[in-house]
Every structure is written in C-alpha cells, then in structure tokens.
Amino acid sequence: MKRITLTCFALLSFFNIHAQGQLNMSLLGRWDEDGLPMSSFVKYNDIWGYADCEGREYAIMGSARYTHFLDITNPQEPIEVSRFSGSVNSIWRDFKTYGHYAYGVADQGTDGLMVFDLGSLPDTVTQVNQLTGIFLTAHNIFIDQAQGRLYVAGSNSRGNGVIVFDLKADPSNPALLGSIPLPGGYIHDIYVRDNIAYCSHGNQGLAIYDLTDPNNLIPLGSLTSYPEQGYNHASWLTEDGSKLVFADETHGRSLKLADVSDPANITILDLFKSSLLAPSATNSIAHNPFVRGQYAIVSYYHDGVQIFDLSNPEDVQQVAYFDTYPGNQNYSGYEGCWGVYPFLPSGNIIASDITHGLFVLSADSIAFEPPPALSAGLEVTAPSALCEGDTALLSAVQQGLFSYHWYKDGALLEEEDATLTVTQSGAYTLIASNGICTDTSLAVELQFAPLPEAILADSLLLFCGDVPPSISTPSEGETYTWYLNGQALNQSAGPQLDVTESGVYQVEVSAGGCSTISNELEVILGIMPNPTYNLVYPSTLCLGSDTISLVLPEENGQFYAISSEGSPAFDTLESLIYPITANGLYHLFAFNENCSLEVSLPLEDAFHEPLIPTITVENNVLTASESSSYQWYLDGEPIFEANEQSFLALASGSYSVEVVDLNGCNAVSAPVSLMVNAVLEAGQVGMQLYPNPVEGRLFIKVPSPIREARLLSLDGRLLLVANGSQASGMEINTTALPAGEYLVQVLLQDGVFNHLIIKE
C-alpha cells in the first residue's frame, strides 16, 4: 500500500490560492504523486467512486499509465490501496462499477475491458479478468445498473456504434450481447437507463435509442440542431427521467438542459455555463455532467467543479464551484478538471485534475440526500382475505439491486427478480444485495385460507309447471350470493333460491373471507303445451270396422305423439286427426320447444267386439245363434229374402249367415257345408194335404211311408214335429197355432216334400 499526501504547508497553500476560486465548496483532501508518466501533457484522466459495506469510500482514478484505487474514508488523508498498469500510456481512461466489481477501458494500447474485484477492500484490489477478444481500445463505458448491462462507446471494433455486455450472469466475466451500429455513427459517450440510451454523437448531436433488444435497436428521437451547438460530448439524466443535462466539448459553449419526456420532440429548456472568470473570460469547456437530486455537478476544463441548481428548469443557477487549477487562465487549451463523481454516501465530491490529481471536496451549502441504505425490506400486495387460488405479490422496497434471493420456509426459490408472486402458504424472506453488501428481510408469513365449495347441478334444469322451482347448493358457507346471467341478484338468499325467470345461474359461497363461484346452471322455465282434443265417435263402435277420430288443436310450435298400452314407442302425429280403431289405454303427448304434457285416453272398452254367429243344422234346416238381423249366404252369395234366424236349405252347398248383433256390429259365421236330400213335388209322390186352409186338424196322405212331418214358420222356426212311424198317412193338430202362413215339411224315404198352408 502506497500512501502519498500533500504536506500541511502545501495543503494550506492550496487553500490560500483558492480563496478566489471557490464558492460554497471546500477542499477536504488531495492526492498527487510526482513522477507519474504523462501522455500528451495529460497526467490524470477520469475518476469514479465506490463505497463498501462498512461505509468506507474509495476513489478509482486513471492516470496516463495506471488505474489507481484510493481509500478516501478519511478525506484529509487519501491512501492508495492498489494500482494496475495499462499496456501503454493513454490520454483517456474510463471506469464504472457494478456490485463489487470495477471495469476499466483505455483509448490507447491493448487493454480491452479490464475487470477488478473490489471485494477485498480496504486491504487490496484484484484484477480478475481482461477481455481483449472483442475490442482493444474504447473511449468510455457505461453500466445500466438495473439491467446489469455494460455499454462500450468509441471502441476500435465498433467505431460507429456500441458494444453491449451482460454482467448479471457472471460479473467477473461479462458476456457479449451484441455489437450495434447506430444511425448517428460514432458516439463519444453514452448514458443508459432501463435500456434507453442517450448517445452523444459528437458533431452529429444527440440521439436516443431503445436498446432492449441489442440486435434490434429502435431509434426514438434525435437533436441534431440546437443553440450553441458544438461537439456533443456527454450527458446525464435527471432522477425523474424527464430531463437531460448535456455538455458540448467546445470552447465557450453553454451546458444544455433538455426536456426528453418525449424523445421524438426534444426541446431545450435552458442554457447555462460557468461564470468563474466572466465577464472577462467565458471560453471555458464543460466536460462531464452528472445529476444528483436537483443539482447538476459538472467537471469543467479550467473552471474545476461547478454545481448548478436545476429546480427551475427555465432558469438554471450556479450555486457552488471549486477550481482545481486556479493558476491556469489559458482557456485556449484543455487543462484543469477532467472528471467528477458526486454519488458517495457521505456527500463528498471527488474530482480528478489533469495536472493535480485527486481532489476530495465538500459542497458546504448543499445537503445531498444520502442514497437509501441497503434494505431487503418487503412490501406485500395481497387481498384483504388471502384465499387458495389468490396471489400475493412480495416486492423488494429497493428495486434495481444487484441480486435478489427468495426463500420459502428456509428453502431457496428459483426466482431472482425484485418481486415474487406467492400462491402457497409459508414464511417468505428475501436476501437482497447491491453487489457489495447483503441484507435479509424479516420473514413474511402468508396463509392462504381454504376456499369453500360452490356446487350446482351440472345438467340443464328444465321446469314445466305452474309453480316456479327452487335451486340449491349443497355447499356450506357463511353467505351466499346468487347470480343470474352474470349479474348479482339483489334478493337476500341462503343456499336455496326461488327461480323466477329463465337464465344461467351461479352461486358464490363465502366463508372465512374467501369465496368461490360455482359452475353455471342453465334453468329454463318452459310453457306447458295445451293438449286440448276432441274424440269424434261413429254411430256404432264395432271393433275392426269402426274408427274413433282424435282431433287435435293446431297450436304454434306444438306437436303431438301418441302411444298405447303395451307399445312403448311413440307414434309422432303428422296430422291433427288420428284414427283409433282398437280398444286400449292411449297416452297423448303434447310437446313444445321445452315442455311436454301427457294425457291418458281410457278407451279400453270403447269398441264392441262383434259376436260371431254359430249355425245349428237339423236335416235341411239351418238355425243361426240369436242376433238382431240375419242374412243367409249360399256359396258366398246372399240368398234373396233369407233374413230369418232359421233357413230351410233346398240345395246343397256352403252356407253362412251374416248377422247384426245387439250392439249393431256385423259378423259372419263360419261356413257350413250341407248335402240336401231331393225335394219332391206333390205330383211326383201322389201326396194329399187337406184341408188347406186349415182350422184344426191337417191330414197328410202319401203312397209311401212317412218318416217325420214338421211344421215351420216362414222365418224357419220349427213349431211342431210329428213322427210318422213309417205310416203312409198322418195328421197334425194346428188348433193352437195363430192364423197365418206356415210351411209343412214331410220327410219320406226318398225325399222331402214341402208345402205351404194357411191357418184360419
């Protein structure tokens, strides 16, 4: 460790020299070393700062040959901790830090990207890497802290754009993301926040790009013409991101405060500059601007460190300054303060002077708001009642830190973002790091309460009736909210709801502050069909011949079906008149779009089954069973005037009788085949029958024996039978018979004799 400080006399002398070269700023300490090599009269160049976990502060400063690491925790006594040599003496060196790593480049030589590990401070610094395969020289680098990306500007391998590295995966070994040509060409310096780059294109002005995808840049806007334009050198964004301070590295040019809230329409709000030697000399050069809070802190060639108040964007005021090279009054060259770093936690400002090295300064009248202390504090965003299926969002109070490690019940989770979405119960903690220090949050206990069930029937509920139905859920809860077609019903209800209209119903069941909404249940309140009907009966109801007509009404959207007992199949009716021809219990169904109604038609005894007549045969006389009327047939042909219950068959053949029963139903008997004996005429047998007309006794005489004699009514009824006992004559007493015509039938051995008599 090499320790070099100014003597007390020299320091006092420097303070005395600055009696006229400072305003509201004080010199706390200096570091300079005689004999260091120079390049083109440049001994020292850029500077950066660093603070460790113990609150110790450090300056990282470049000289023509070296990178110097100095402990400035005691600003009155800066101590060099380590130095690292470059490949050659270089006018420009630039440095930035990410976590406990520092990165450096040089504008001459073959240094590439140098990587230093600051983790062993205050004892030492270690160079852990040097990448020379992508570029060898570069003018500036910048690190977008929140995104963990390092940008290289003005390199030998990408002179017309920027090279992008990723630092998050392995800060000690940056990974190339892209080498991007820019429309504005060469950039002298770059500022990037959340992937939005503000690029100083020298004589081409200022341009803003979206570099979210390093291989697909999106130009957002540019400023190529503006008041007091010079060589656009460097810029810095205000904390709210709406304004940009930029410097033109040209003698006599003012600093610019620009409104960049709309990158496509950049406007200049104010011009301001150092007035250290005004009005006699105003040819100073602003070099590197920075913004902390409402202040712009700018390194000036010739005029040292200048501080401006930006609180009134249209009237920026100089509020403090410290000239690091008061003896130099030559505004024609490039001497004095090269760089400044205003972000140390103590509020001290460090600056590098080309000739005089490190300055540790205080801004006496300015109280910079200290950066927030590293904290792994958590914010919880969650519903008031945390239930299964909900999510809670745990957010680190400090965003954009180096790393975040989340734990559940002590177990490391995979998520590494500043936020964690939580869906399970447990104790959650966060270990956050700014790359230098770590902090552990208090445990956040999250409990996800179980959800109540919310169940409705899965199937469609179709109701057809006069009294509306009710629906219910078997789920248990504290409160129930019913919905119809997605809208909450105002009526107060428990687990059961009376349905008053068709629609899609759901129920939300709540318990313990948690709620679940059920599946959808469609309920249809149908209109009952109107199955009015009329039965049209014929004059007779005879089975097999008559038909009852079922006449149905014509109703819009209504159709019908019928079934009968023993026949489960429906017979859909195509017509509004349906014939019924058989006895039975019929079921009539009336349908509309949603509902049906069944009506029973008890017609089991509607039709009379015709009584089939039977025929009794005695010799040649056929007698039908009793009915209302008769018609005799021979061989299928009706016999003229054969309409009595009995019929004397005079010819052989097939006889049948058709009758009408007491119910008016027709029936035909089974046919009877009959072989009839010969029928004789009176002259053939020499028969005598007298008297005719007869009043009492009727005498019959024939030459051959008589087997039997019969007396029949003209309708075929048998009235008397007399046995002839084979005699050739006999008599029949007709006294009891009423007056009228009768048929006498005499059966002989060889035939039958019929004769008509009249009874008086």
101-126, pLDDT tens digit by residue? 999 999 999 999 999 999 999 999 99
Position 393 scores a pLDDT of: 96
Position 327 scores a pLDDT of: 81
In this structure, which amino acid lies at residue 216? N
Q: Whose CA is closest to 737, among 709, 758, 708?
A: 758
Supply the DSSP symbol for 261: S
> Strand pairing partners for 101?
98, 117
Look over the chain and give the mean of its residue pLDDT values, rounded to a whole number. 89
CA distance 92 to 188: 12
SS3 263: helix
Q: What angle is formed at CA 685 by the lines to CA 684 and CA 687, rounded to 5 degrees?
A: 120
Residue whose tokens read 């006889």: 655
The Cβ of residue 174 has, within 10 Å, a number of other Cβ atoms equal to 25
Q: Whose CA is closest to 581, among 540, 642, 619?
A: 540
In this structure, which amino acid lies at residue 265? N
CA distance 736 to 752: 25
662-689, pLDDT tens digit by residue? 888 999 999 988 776 544 554 555 778 8
Q: Whose CA is closest to 586, among 550, 538, 551, 554?
A: 550
Q: What are phi and psi of 268, to 5 degrees?
A: -85, 125
Token pair for residue 366? 């300015």
Evaluate the omega torsion of the peptide bond into residue 691 and state whether it is cis, within 30 degrees of 0.
yes
Domains, the chain, with CATH or none: 378-446 (2.60.40.10), 461-526 (2.60.40.10), 534-603 (2.60.40), 615-674 (no CATH), 681-759 (2.60.40.3080)
Position 8 scores a pLDDT of: 38
Evaluate the omega torsion of the peptide bond into residue 171 and state whether it is cis, within 30 degrees of 0.
no
Sequence-distant (6+) residues with CB within 8 A of 81 are 1, 58, 69, 70, 71, 121, 122, 123, 124, 125
Token pair for residue 94? 């630039």
Position 331 scores a pLDDT of: 79
Is 728:705 a contact under the CB 8 Å cutoff?
A: yes
Given CA atoms 481, 485, 489, 494 in this order, what sign does their dihedral have?
A: negative
In this structure, which amino acid lies at residue 139? H
Q: Where on the phi/psi map is residue 338: left (φ > 0), alpha (ψ -120 to 50), or beta?
A: alpha
Residue whose tokens read 């990165």: 103
Token pair for residue 149? 């990306």
Q: In what order do the strands lie in the sheet with 255-259?
A: 232-237, 243-248, 255-259, 267-272
Q: How far is CA 507 from CA 469, 476, 482, 513, in A?
A: 16, 12, 4, 16
Position 520 scores a pLDDT of: 92
Position 650 scores a pLDDT of: 73
Given a cut of 70, the residues of the chain with pLDDT beneath it are 1-20, 278-281, 491-492, 566-570, 676-685, 715-716, 724-726, 749-751
361-418, pLDDT tens digit by residue? 999 989 898 888 889 999 999 988 899 989 999 999 998 888 999 999 999 999 999 9
Q: What are phi and psi of 718, to 5 degrees?
A: -85, 120
Is 245:238 a contact under the CB 8 Å cutoff?
A: yes
Q: Whose CA is closest to 86, among 136, 146, 122?
A: 136
Residue whose tokens read 């802290």: 145
User: Where does residue 312 rank: exposed (0-12), middle (13-18), buried (19+ CB within 10 A)?
Assistant: exposed
Q: What are phi and psi of 597, to 5 degrees?
A: -140, 135
CA contacts within 13 A on the Cβ side of 476: 1
Q: Whose CA is closest to 478, among 509, 453, 455, 450?
A: 509
Is 752:620 a contact under the CB 8 Å cutoff?
A: yes
Position 422 scores a pLDDT of: 96
Evaluate the omega torsion of the peptide bond into residue 279 and state whether it is cis, within 30 degrees of 0.
yes
CA distance 360 to 399: 30
Q: In what order do the strands lie in the sheet with 534-536?
A: 534-536, 548-551, 577-580
Q: How far is CA 663 from CA 422, 582, 670, in A?
A: 90, 16, 20
User: Where does residue 189 rank: exposed (0-12), middle (13-18), buried (19+ CB within 10 A)?
Assistant: buried
CA distance 548 to 551: 9
Q: Where on the phi/psi map is residue 593: left (φ > 0), alpha (ψ -120 to 50), or beta?
A: alpha
548-566, pLDDT tens digit by residue? 998 988 888 788 888 887 6
SS3 20: helix
Evaluate the omega torsion of the peptide bond into residue 579 and state whether it is cis, within 30 degrees of 0.
no
Question: SS in 3 state form for 673-712?
Answer: EECCCCEECHHHHCCEEECCCECCEEEEECCCCEEEEEEE
CA distance 227 to 257: 11
Supply the DSSP symbol for 441: P
Position 405 scores a pLDDT of: 96
Token pair for residue 541? 């109801």
Is 533:549 a contact under the CB 8 Å cutoff?
A: no
